[in-house]
Amino acid sequence: MSPDEGRRIAVVGAGPAGLYAVQAATALPDVTGIDVFDALPAPYGLVRYGVAADHAKTKTVVRVFRQLFESGTVRFFGNVTVGTDINRADLLAHYDAVIYATGARHDRALGVPGDHLAGSHGAAEMVSWYSGHPESSGPPPLRLGTSAAVIGAGNVALDIVRILAKNADSLIDTDMPDDVIAVLRDSTITDIHLIARRGPAQAKFTPVELRELGDLADADILVEDVDLDLDASSRQEADSVRRVGTNVKVMTGWVGRPPMGRPRRIHLRFWSSPVELLGSDHVTGLVLRRSRPGSVAVTETLDVQLVIRAIGYEARAIPGLPFDADRCVVPNVEGRVVDGSLVLAGEYVAGWLKRGPSGVIGTNRSDAAETVRGLAADLSALPGRKIVDPDAVVGLLVERGVRFVDWEAWLRLESHEAALGVARGAVTVKLSDRAAMLAVCHP
């Protein structure tokens, strides 16, 4: 079947959700071409810009993803923003089906007084910065004082606590940009408080990631034993859910551990809800309401100069596509986009835009497979694209002056980053400035 004849699919978002969808869609017999669009010049989404730099093993999934682009049927269009450079109507004209997988990279608001102060940041801002995201708003202030609070008891909070607690020189062999390491090296923060509003049995941590905190060479970990007291239902949960039981065991093991006089300290605080951030122009304190089950609630103020809220991410709407603003997802039934009771033919979602911000990288594989199963079942009945020529979309982008990054151009950037890595004793070192990235892509 020639490329003009078969079905063509557009995937918006070159992160794990989009690329697992590509993987599933390449197996469909009628599909002769898949084009992947991403707003950034580089592929891999959350694997490149969300997985922490010191979790190199998790990032090895890119080996699976890169093979897709080497198969001959999958093209990459980086540096192309859907809604600006190309819109939904363009995609529906050039493709038989479109899968949106743009993820969720915005911070949920905490909604307490003082949240707007300098020194109050969202986890997405922090993670984007230390991951070298081209749209990062820059580093959080790490030299305003010695104490930071990270709000939330999920894996993102663990990542941030760990990065703040590590000796910056231990990150030299990661892909972290040079300027990020320099800022972390200059940080004056010595005490990092992880603030959980519920108890240890309700924490969303996964045990492997939690254990890492206790293994850091440069930080002592401190937790009060009363914080780890479990009520009857929490005890039952710890006994019946392996993840919860292991988490509680790991934290209990830290209780009696004498501090070793390490340069930094991590304080775990449960049953503590943020009430207010204090300060006139920048954060000087965090007011918490401590309410352990069975105890009278008390108010407590922590002297902190940096507050990072790791309380979950949010997706943003795709222009023209329905959006559930309460759940921050595109309404869908098993991946088919719906507008009320109407199924929008040929439009699908995958990943965090489909189900909300939960699950690890691998969760997206089964999630995307579900979406592509629906697409496969629909394919023969879809009306078909209006513009048949696969190269017409290239012409459209060129005509609009979009400097898109194709796979060859990305490989130039990948090689450039690998060369930067050699100079630093790392496998690769990311470039984070979009203009610099494009200059390498388009020499």
Q: Where do contacts with ligand NAP occur on this chain (CB under 6 A)?
A: 110, 151-157, 159, 196-198, 202, 204, 206, 209, 274, 310-313, 357-360
> How deeply is 333 buried, as exposed, middle or buried, from its count of CB atoms within 10 A (0-12, 13-18, 19+)?
exposed
The answer to whether 190 touches 146, Cβ cutoff 8 Å, is yes
CA-to-CA distance for 315 and 354, rounded, in angstroms?
Answer: 9
> How deeply is 364 buried, as exposed, middle or buried, from its count of CB atoms within 10 A (0-12, 13-18, 19+)?
buried
CA-to-CA distance for 117 and 121, rounded, in angstroms?
Answer: 9
Q: How many residues does the chain have?
A: 443
Choose among 76, 99, 48, 50: nearest CA to 318: 99
3-state secondary structure of 443: coil
Choose among 9, 112, 111, 124: nearest CA to 368: 9
Shortest spacing between CB 98 and ligand NAP, in angstroms:
25
Shortest spacing between CB 136 and ligand NAP, in angstroms:
17
Shortest spacing between CB 95 and ligand NAP, in angstroms:
30
Sequence-separated (6 or more) residues with CB below 8 Å from residue 66: none
Name the residue nearer to ligand NAP (CB basis): 359 or 421.
Answer: 359
Name the residue nearer to ligand NAP (CB basis): 52 or 68.
Answer: 52
CA-to-CA distance for 282 and 306, rounded, in angstroms?
Answer: 9
Name the residue nearer to ligand NAP (CB basis): 17 or 437.
Answer: 17
Name the residue nearer to ligand NAP (CB basis): 310 or 379.
Answer: 310
Name the residue nearer to ligand NAP (CB basis): 297 or 360.
Answer: 360
Name the residue nearer to ligand NAP (CB basis): 210 or 219.
Answer: 210
Name the residue nearer to ligand NAP (CB basis): 282 or 289.
Answer: 289
Shortest spacing between CB 311 and ligand NAP, in angstroms:
4
Shortest spacing between CB 358 and ligand NAP, in angstroms:
4
Shortest spacing between CB 274 and ligand NAP, in angstroms:
6
Shortest spacing between CB 145 and ligand NAP, in angstroms:
22
Shortest spacing between CB 307 and ligand NAP, in angstroms:
11
CA-to-CA distance for 254 and 271, rounded, in angstroms?
Answer: 18
3-state secondary structure of 346: strand
Shortest spacing between CB 304 and ligand NAP, in angstroms:
15
Sequence-separated (6 or more) residues with CB below 8 Å from residue 32: 1, 2, 3, 5, 6, 7, 8, 73
Name the residue nearer to ligand NAP (CB basis): 144 or 151.
Answer: 151
- Show the CA angle centred on residue 403, arms to residues 400 and 405, nearest 5°: 130
> How deeply is 262 buried, as exposed, middle or buried, from its count of CB atoms within 10 A (0-12, 13-18, 19+)?
middle
- Show the CA angle centred on residue 47, arms to residues 18 and 120, nearest 5°: 110
Shortest spacing between CB 198 and ligand NAP, in angstroms:
5
Name the residue nearer to ligand NAP (CB basis): 152 or 279.
Answer: 152
- For ligand NAP, the nearest residue by Cβ is 154
Name the residue nearer to ligand NAP (CB basis): 73 or 102.
Answer: 102
The answer to whether 80 touches 39, Cβ cutoff 8 Å, is yes
Choose among 57, 72, 56, 74: nearest CA to 20: 74
